[in-house]
Structure 1
Amino acid sequence: MANPARPALIINADDLGYSPGVNTAIADLYQAGLVTSTSLIVNLPHSEAGAAIARRLPGLSVGVHLNLSKGEPLLPAAQVPSLVDEAGRFWETAALYRHALTGQINWYEAAAEMEAQIEWALGRGLHVDNLDSHVHFHVLPAARRLITDLGQRYHVHAWRSPKVLSTLTPRMTWTDLLNRRDSDGPMVAPHYLLSLHQWGERLLEDQRLRSLLAKPGTVTELVAHPGYAPDPDLPLPDQLPPERRQAEVDMLSSSAFRGWLDDAGLALISFASLHYVAA
């Protein structure tokens, strides 16, 4: 168990199950001690392989990467018509948000699909430590409420904070506006959320950020989207092509990143131990 007074960092690799290149990169980074948790996407062709990796690496903390915007739902399309297009596939990111913000998503259908995704992971013998969402759709208040309800029902104690610590901070972002009246409810979340995709090399250089993360008792989640290039099986369209995912592998594996971890004095933890340090 981590020392509660020591600042801690969760390095979470999103998209386990996304493609062979992503699956292998996440496994390699975990075995190198550079990833502590992962989020499994369960409805894609390589999800079974991702689940097998998670079972093979029992120390890897696994969350469900709830997904309403890539591939086909687990439930029959006829049961979730507001979530899918005419081909029975999820709306892509922009359409999902547009439909959600204009009242075209039936959240009862969304809840049923998310429940099916959690059940899928549990049915593969995985212990689910946390919940988060593909393309961060849990910034939407309706989605947040459903996900915290599901967390309680399935005894999942942790989730990803919807509030991203941006390179533009301090500034009120649209996510703050959407969520300013909501609390995290019964689930615990890290104090801060950083995206390696957004920060890049600036993560290692920003002294204000380092001071913030080094506060005693602070827990931060660093979200990465690693993958090896080339990766011809990566689902398209994708906001992070193989070259971008490879760049994240390279950065996490670099001596500069290891040095940043050492200099910041951050204890590496996983979502499995989050309730010990952030409750």
Structure 2
Amino acid sequence: MPNIHSDDYGYKIYSDKKIIQLIKNKRIKSVSVLSTMVGQSSLKALKKQAGNNNHLHIGLHLNLIEGKSNSGKDFVPSLLSGKGNFYFLPVFLIRLFLKTINKDHLKREIEQQIDKLQKSGLSVNFIDSHQHVHALSPVAEILDEIVKEKKIKNIRTYNNIRTYTFIAKCKFLLLKLASVTSYYLEYGKLGLPSSWRGGHNIQYSIMSWEGGRLDFSKITNKSLILVTHPFLPFDTNKSYISFLI
């Protein structure tokens, strides 16, 4: 059975309940939590499972592009629209490239999202992000500083992403181009954000990128982690579902 990770815990109550059941059945080994969306009942259920399973890894699914912030409009106005919601990804990208997002606001919101999980009694072992916003500068570098301060072990790094289908390779290339652009606009030189360099040896494949015809049961890489969104409509490759039953 491959290593299966679930993103987006907290996105919907019904999917949270099903993810908890998968954890109980030892089908999922790690979960990243949307701190800005997760309800108290889902946090309580996850904390209980963490207490019962020493091998369960829990991380923050950093969100800067959907719904409400943890900080509020008075504290992070450059991240939020007039209605107090995060800007959608295309607008976030434009604002990031134009440098109209305040770095202090980014730092505060990231810290608030981590703090919410830690105050609920969860240990944050790693950080990844909603729609891959930490692939971009200066989000990547700010996040690097914070994880060092808070002694969080890992950030999902993009040099360890493995792509198998044409559509996944195209999506990966587009993200890399956006990341190079963000780095150049931020630092005035060619390069990649820190989230594309170094890090650990964990390898990932993103099921919302991969084409649907590939059967991941035939992939021989035993250390590969399949990044999934169980019971949500985001994964274009669902071959992993057979491992969850």
Asked whether the two chains share a fold, i.e. TM above 0.5, the reply is yes
Quick check: 2:35–2:61 contact (8 Å CA) kept in 1?
Answer: yes
The superposition leaves residues 78-116 of structure 1 with CA deviations (integer Å, 9 ceiling, x where unpaired) of 211110001111111221122112222112101100101
Please show how residues 1-279 of structure 1 align to structure 2 within 5 Å: 10-44=3-37, 46-58=38-50, 59=53, 60-163=56-159, 164-166=161-163, 167-168=165-166, 173-177=173-177, 178=179, 180-184=191-195, 188-199=199-210, 201-204=212-215, 210-211=219-220, 213-214=221-222, 219-227=223-231, 241=233, 248=238, 251-254=239-242, 257=243
Aligned mates of 1:31, 1:200 — CA distance in 2: 29
Quick check: 2:4–2:227 contact (8 Å CA) kept in 1?
Answer: yes
Aligned mates of 2:197, 2:46 — CA distance in 1: 26
Structure 1 residue 181 displacement after superposition: 3.6
Structure 1 residue 135 displacement after superposition: 1.0
TM-score of the two chains, using structure 1 as the length reference: 0.70
Aligned residues with identical type, % of pairs: 23
Structure 1 residue 206 displacement after superposition: 9.0
Structure 1 residue 69 displacement after superposition: 1.2
Aligned amino acid, residue 14 of structure 2: G
3-state SS of 2:32 partner: strand
If asked which structure has higher relative contact order (CA below 8 Å, sep 6+), I would say 1
Quick check: 1:71–1:89 contact (8 Å CA) kept in 2?
Answer: yes
Q: Which runs of 5+ in 1 are unaligned?
A: 1-7, 228-239, 259-279
Aligned mates of 1:192, 1:154 — CA distance in 2: 24
Q: Which runs of 5+ in 2 are unaligned?
A: 181-190
Number of residue equivalences:
225
TM-score of the two chains, using structure 2 as the length reference: 0.79
Aligned amino acid, residue 209 of structure 2: Q
Instruction: Tell me the residue number matched to 2:186.
Output: none
Relative to 1, partners in 2 of residues 1:120 and 1:170: Cα closer, same or farther, differing over 3 Å?
closer
Structure 1 residue 162 displacement after superposition: 2.9
Structure 1 residue 33 displacement after superposition: 2.2
